[in-house]
Amino acid sequence: MLTNPWLYCAVLGQQGELHDAARLRLERLQCANCIVCVRKNRPDRAILLRTFMFMGFQLLAPTSAILPRELANPEYIFLHYNMQ
């Protein structure tokens, strides 16, 4: 979901695809910020979190003011990336 200048996306694919897809989306859509949500029960959750954090994403509290209420879900971990 794109809400200029924000991009919200859920992690559905494999780790290698995610890095390329996230970078491409941020560059092509010229978003200033990106919030990614990862299901807590994914078996590869730890690897995904390390990968996104290596890319510069930071963990985002589910009560953060920048996270829209309609997206807040206790089944997900949220990460934020600021392109500026």
Instruction: Give the residue numbers spanning the domain of 48.
Output: 2-31+41-71
Look at residue 53 in the predicted model and tell me its pLDDT.
92
**Domain presence at residue 81:** no
Q: State the SS3 of 44-76.
A: CHHHHHHHHHHCCCEEECCCCCCCCCCCCCCCE
Mean pLDDT of all residues in 15-36? 67
Q: pLDDT tens across 30-44, in order?
A: 777 788 888 899 898
- Widest pairwise Cα distance in the chain: 32
Domain assignment of residue 80, yes or no: no
In the three-class reduction of DSSP (H, G, I as helix; E, B as strand; rest coil), residue 10 is classed as strand
pLDDT in tens, 64-74: 888 888 888 88
pTM higher than 0.85: no
Q: Are 33 and 81 in contact (CB under 8 A)?
A: yes
56 lies in some domain = yes
pLDDT at 4 over 60: no
